[in-house]
Amino acid sequence: MIPRYSRPEMVAIWSPETKFRIWFEIEAHAATAQARLGVIPDEAAKVIWDKGSAATFDIGRIDAIEREVKHDVIAFLTHLSEIVGPEARFVHQGMTSSDVLDTTLSVQLARASDILIEDIGVLLDALKLRAFEHKRTITIGRSHGIHAEPTTFGVKLAEAYAEFDRARSRLAAARAEIAICAISGAVGTFANIDPSVESYVAAQLGLDVEPVSTQVIPRDRHAMYFATLGVIASSVERLATEVRHLQRTEVLEAEEFFSKGQKGSSAMPHKRNPVLSENLTGLARLVRGMVTPALENVALWHERDISHSSVERMIGPDATITLDFALARLTNVVENLVVYPETMRRNMDALGGLHNSQRVLLALTQAGMSREASYAAVQRNAMQVWQMQGDRSGKFAELLKADPDVAAALSPEAIDAMFDDFYHLKHVDTIFARVFGAA
């Protein structure tokens, strides 16, 4: 991923320095386990650890060797032998390259998950704070983009909180599924290495063992992991899209913070665009775009082919780095979001109270009218208001009072009582208790 959409801590997980250090640790832990089994001398395992731990791996040298041997793990092992000396002949005993590569990828994805889980936690804190701030900030709910019934801006944010809370749980589960070690040899049968070596390496790296591997860890695990990232990216986009719609000029119920000195357009000085949220929409597309290749990696040939390798070298870093950046950016948007309660109220009132149509419908049915007749009476008056131009304030209630069928069932006072907008908010406390727990 390009530096523009990257954060240093996540990038470091995927650096060559980190990768080669993990490769060394896998080989060294395996050597320790082999020494305990008596397969290699204890002193050899100690030399491997001591010399390798003190070394700085020469990336240029490894690259030069790889250009000759055309194999990245062999290039690393060759360089490691230059560092360790004669005892290097005891490195990689009974192992295959995928034991190193797959276990390293597991370590990297687990570490990346820890950062992403922390990112979501910070976002949840921001959402909770803003949700309680606007717990009773009334606004119109929309379905199909059209006014429906009142809700609160806090409830909107509570919805996002619940969604990202689920995302955190899913990611924790995906982390557990991907944090897997495989040190099982050429086709997964442990023909030349004892299974206890795998168990030891896994324990040292904080991983579980793969119950049955081929030459590689089965890629259904990876597919589930990247699919989880894709779902989280879609949640990012969902909230970003809400901000974009609310910032539209005709709506303007909320907008991204516009800092001093910021400029929205090279041509139009008046512009204040939701550029961060638009950017998040694009980043979400990128992360989702990496899910399909991960799914296609599942069906490898027999005990393994290499078709997955080039894919994972890209989607591993790119998906996690991009999502890390996106979550941090979304948190910034939420924390600094400018909210306009008066505009929310003005927009809600723009259709003259039509958002109370269901309440009138139910009152008419309870007063004895059939549902069909009640619906027809409410709709014909609502359509008149809908077609009005200019100020519609109070028009819906007035029309209902003048309608003979409605007036026969409901008194003017009863009709007026149905236009208390805060009626729609009576269960907000219940919703918040469900989302955030009892106060």
In this prediction, residues 212-239 reach a mean pLDDT of: 98
354-418 — its CATH code? Answer: 1.10.40.30
d(CA 324, CA 13): 12
User: pLDDT tens digits, residue range 374-409?
Assistant: 999 999 999 999 898 777 777 999 999 999 999 999
In this prediction, residues 106-110 reach a mean pLDDT of: 99
Predicted pLDDT of residue 11? 98
Whether pLDDT at 264 is above 90: no
Whether pLDDT at 148 is above 80: yes
Res. 258 pLDDT band, cuts 50 70 90: confident
User: pLDDT tens digits, residue range 38-59?
Assistant: 999 999 999 999 999 999 999 9
Annotated catalytic residue, options 15, 169, 265, 370: 265
Q: Which of 177, 174, 184 is nearest to 208 (CA)?
A: 177
Check: CB of residue 62 under 8 Å from CB of residue 79.
Answer: yes
Distances from the Cα of 17 to the Cα of 24, 73, 126, 314, 354, angstroms: 11, 14, 34, 17, 63
Instruction: Write down the pTM of the prediction.
Output: 0.95
Average pLDDT over the chain reads 96
Q: Quick one: what percent of the chain has pLDDT higher than 90?
A: 94
Residue 81: active-site member: no
Residue 144: active-site member: yes
Q: Which CATH superfamily is domain 95-344 in?
A: Fumarase/aspartase (Central domain) (1.20.200.10)
Annotated catalytic residue, options 143, 144, 266, 302: 144
Domain boundaries, the chain: 1-93, 95-344, 354-418
Res. 439 pLDDT band, cuts 50 70 90: low
Strand 254-255 to 338-339 pairing: antiparallel
Whether pLDDT at 347 is above 70: yes
In this prediction, residues 206-228 reach a mean pLDDT of: 97
CATH class of 1-93: mainly alpha
